[in-house]
Amino acid sequence: MKRISTTRTLARFVSMALLLLGANAHADVVQVAVAANFTAPVKVIAASFEKDTGHTAALSFGATGKFYAQIKSGAPFEVFLSADDETPLKLEKEGATVPGSRVTYAIGKLALWSATPGFVDDKGEVLKRGNFKHIAIAAPKLAPYGEAAVEAMTRLGVWAALEPKLVQGESIGQAFNFVATGNAELGFVALSQVFEGGKIKSGSAWIVPATLYSPLRQDAVLLAKGKDSKAAAAFMAYLKSDTARAVIRSFGYEL
């Protein structure tokens, strides 16, 4: 009886191994261009995606405007996670996407952040005091979060006074690094870069009221190069899953 039981156990083990090998044989890699503000959450989502589907997401991070230029020049991206809704729509109109694939995956929030605790107050009055040499933003022409920062400063009436103090990064990732390394005392960043688990991770921050800038609707789209990729289609579907949505919310985005 013991020998029969051992044989059955071995048979089940072999069957399971064959199933896993079969699943891995169909696994693929999807090339994903990701707006820099979404770096932290997409890394978590990509890990879960690989665990749940067997597919791998190869992630590239940068400014939305720069990705647009690269996609138009033939870059091998199959999925694009933009920081706005205008760029994916533009690509759609230009025939560079799979029709009907565009979807809003998150609504971003802008934050004024300093790596120094207590430097940024909870009402953003530090902008009017101006007791700093440099303030970092992402380049408005390339990054929607940079454009939102300019819009917020203009509505607050501090743009003229602060413009000479601006340090511009190519992306919101570079703007964040300027502040994190002390090259700027404070800066406008994506809330997701400094927020996790319901609180600001370090330093001090002011969550900029949404009334001060246009909504940061972030759209994802399946690009033409990914139209026949099962991994690309699976990644787009996974963005809508409860698992992904929970991660997105945990970094301060709205859905």
Task: List the domain boundaries for the chain.
Answer: 2-107+218-250, 110-207
Cβ distance 145 to 38 under 8 Å? Answer: no
Mean pLDDT across the chain: 91
Looking at residue 21, its amino acid is: L
- Strand 216-222, strand 103-108: pairing: antiparallel
Per-residue pLDDT at 19 exceeds 70: no
Looking at residue 74, its amino acid is: G
Per-residue pLDDT at 16 exceeds 70: no
For residue 26, what pLDDT is reported? Answer: 64
d(CA 77, CA 31): 5
Per-residue pLDDT at 20 exceeds 50: no
For residue 207, what pLDDT is reported? Answer: 96
Reference 188, options 127, 138, 129; nearest CA is 138
Cβ distance 252 to 108 under 8 Å? Answer: no
SS3 for 79?
strand
For residue 25, what pLDDT is reported? Answer: 45
Strand partners, 79: 32, 222
Per-residue pLDDT at 162 exceeds 70: yes
Confidence of residue 227 (pLDDT cuts 50, 70, 90): very high
Strand partners, 180: none
Q: Alpha helix locations (H) across the chain? A: 2-25, 39-53, 64-72, 86-93, 126-129, 144-156, 159-162, 172-180, 191-194, 230-238, 242-250
For residue 204, what pLDDT is reported? Answer: 97
- Strand 186-190, strand 110-114: pairing: antiparallel
Q: Kindly state the tokens that stand for 92.
A: 């759609």
Task: Tell me which fold the domain 110-207 belongs to.
Answer: D-Maltodextrin-Binding Protein; domain 2 (3.40.190)
d(CA 88, CA 98): 11
d(CA 231, CA 190): 28
Per-residue pLDDT at 86 exceeds 90: yes
Per-residue pLDDT at 1 exceeds 80: no
Q: How many CB atoms lie within 10 A of CB 229?
A: 20
Class of domain 2-107+218-250: alpha beta
d(CA 14, CA 5): 14
Angle, nearest 10°, between helix axes 64-72 and 86-93?
10
